[in-house]
Chain A
Amino acid sequence: EAGVAQSPRYKIIEKRQSVAFWCNPISGHATLYWYQQILGQGPKLLIQFQNNGVVDDSQLPKDRFSAERLKGVDSTLKIQPAKLEDSAVYLCASSLNSRGGYTFGSGTRLTVV
């Protein structure tokens, strides 16, 4: 089966600019997650979707981050305006259900200068 697709692979922007990341989960996976991984740390959950509804966005900095999952398939994560501390790898994952394990994409490495 095809894996979780993410784009772009790399992005360099200046602070205060905006950026968007795209994720296409495994076909049939109802649950989609966005994680932020800062260098040397484990991934941290930003937002979880069940189909096209938000289940958990308690750790999403809502003043600058937003995410949507239209039609319950693809998802986009946006940062506006970006700060230097947003430099990280942004990982998308999907799962069939909470007991079935998670599959991660290759991630988008964001550098804010």
Chain B
Amino acid sequence: KQEVTQIPAALSVPEGENLVLNCSFTDSAIYNLQWFRQDPGKGLTSLLLIQSSQREQTSGRLNASLDKSSGRSTLYIAASQPGDSATYLCAFSGGGADGLTFGKGTHLIIQP
């Protein structure tokens, strides 16, 4: 059974800092990895999708990497802004099932 761990559980930093959010998983047989953002009381917004044949994806100030051999993914946020404050969730699909397995998320606060 796939298990997903996200570290840290919470993070509060001043505006402008570069951040790294970590995600680890136990089963390397994955189809793809997806990072999501969730604002309070809202649904999930997809940020980046990395398919199993890829190693990283970039969108604006966000970069996500995938290392299947070590069972890790990282989300890098450059030049953080207060608008980046949200909960960030990583999720994997694979292991014979298409459904996503989520971590518990990292609650991020960017201080103005």
Which of B51, B98, B105 lies in contact with A48, CB distance below 8 A? B98
Of B31, B44, B103, which is within 8 A of A99 by CB?
B31
Interface of B is mostly: strand
**Quick check: is B25 within 8 A (CB to CB) of the other chain?**
no
Q: Which of B4, B31, B46, B97 contacts A42 (CB 8 A)?
A: B4
Task: Tally A-B pairs: CB < 8 A.
Answer: 62
- Expressed in whole angstroms, the Cα–Cα distance for A45 and B46 within the complex equals 17
**Does B42 make an interface contact (CB < 8 A)?**
yes
Q: Note all chain B residues with C-beta closer than 8 A to A107.
A: 42-43
As a 0/1 sequence over residues 45 to 76 of chain B, the CB contacts with chain A under 8 angstroms (1 = contact) are 11001010000000000000000000000000
In this complex, the interface size class of chain B, counting residues with CB under 8 Å from chain A, is 20 to 34
Q: Chain A, 1-41, contact with B by CB distance < 8 Å: what is the 0/1 string?
A: 00000100000000000000000000000010101000011
The majority secondary structure among interface residues of chain A is strand
CA distance A48 to B93 in the complex (A): 13
Contact with A along B23-44 (1 / 0, CB 8 A): 0000000011010100001111
Which residues does chain A contribute within 8 Å of B98, judged by CB atoms? Answer: 31, 48, 55-56, 95, 98
Instruction: Tell me the bound Cα distance from A11 to B44 in angstroms.
Output: 19
Tell me the nearest residue of chain A to B42, going by C-beta. Answer: A106
**Interface mask (A85-105 → B, CB under 8 Å = 1, otherwise 0):** 000000101010011011111
- Beyond the given A40-B104, A43-B89, please list 19 additional residue pairs across the A-B interface where CB-CB is below 8 A: A6-B43, A42-B89, A42-B104, A42-B105, A43-B44, A43-B91, A43-B102, A48-B99, A55-B97, A55-B98, A56-B99, A91-B44, A93-B100, A98-B32, A99-B32, A99-B51, A104-B36, A104-B43, A107-B43
Q: Which B residues are closer than 8 A to A by beta carbons?
A: 4, 31-32, 34, 36, 41-46, 49, 51, 89, 91, 93, 97-105
